[in-house]
Amino acid sequence: MKFELPPLPYETDILEPQISKRTIELHHGKHHQEYVTNLNNLTIGTKFENADLETIIMVAAGPVFNNASQIWNHSFYFESLSQADDNKLKGPFVKIINANFGSVQFCKDTFIKAASSLFGSGWVWLAWNPKGSIEIIQEYNAGNPLRNGLIPLLACDVWEHSYYLDYQNRRSEYLIAFWSLINWQIVEKRYNNARK
């Protein structure tokens, strides 16, 4: 299987001004593409040559895992975002968030705190635990909650390449901007699919 860079679900300028066109072009077109290129080179002639990303994430280690997971993580991240015009958390999913976190505000604050306090590079996830709860998870480097039996609902990239051009070292400002871009319809759809 030859891995390919998934296209963005929107134009590169659609997330402005929160995330600039230049950041998206570099993040998707360069960094995301590099993981795809690396994985194709790393898997030639190996047992992973015809495996899908989820299988590789669950069983691989080292560079093969890192690049496969980064492809999956980035695709998931980009799919989670949309224009900030109408991205308020609303409808039935508000009750689900309230049941898990007490309030939407507490969920937001906890998520942003987790992303702000993650040392170095990595990801912060909203994930469904099949035991019945939604959790906020920190993962370092290329970490993915799938490896722990959790089902991702939302991913925030806190590698510097996701925000440095726009925010430099002001990660907290990026995180507030990120929260305004979350496509909650997608998150809710993932939650509903996870519970089937």
> For the segment 92-127, what is each residue's pLDDT rounded down to a tens digit?
999 999 999 999 999 999 999 999 999 999 999 999
Q: What does the pLDDT read at residue 48?
A: 96
Token pair recorded at residue 170: 């002001």
- pLDDT tier at 87 (50, 70, 90 boundaries)? confident
Q: Which residue has the tokens 């996701």?
A: 162
Task: Calculate mean pLDDT across residues 162-171.
Answer: 96
Is CATH 3.55.40.20 the classification given to domain 85-194? yes
**Considering the chain, what percentage of its residues have pLDDT values greater than 70?**
99
Q: Would you state the pLDDT for residue 192? A: 95
Per-residue burial over 37-49, b = 16 or more CB atoms within 10 Å of its CB, e = otherwise: ebbeebbeeeebe
> What pLDDT is attached to residue 86?
72
Q: Picking from 39-43, 88-92, 157-161, which range would have the lowest pLDDT averaged per residue?
A: 88-92
Look up the pTM and report it.
0.96
Question: Nearest-CA neighbor of 186 among 121, 55, 93, 68?
Answer: 93
Taking the C-alpha atoms of residue 18 and residue 193, their distance in angstroms, rounded to an integer, is: 29
Per the prediction, the chain carries an average pLDDT of 96
Q: Say yes or no to pLDDT of 1 above 70.
A: no
> What pLDDT, in 10s, does the model give residues 9-57?
999 999 999 999 999 999 999 999 999 999 999 999 999 999 999 999 9
Contact (Cβ atoms closer than 8 angstroms) between residue 118 and residue 138: yes
pLDDT at residue 129, as a whole number: 97
All CATH 3.55.40.20 domain ranges in the chain, comma separated: 85-194
* Superfamily of domain 21-83 in the CATH hierarchy: Fe,Mn superoxide dismutase (SOD) domain (1.10.287.990)
pLDDT exceeds cutoff 80 at 158: yes
Tell me 103's DSSP state: S
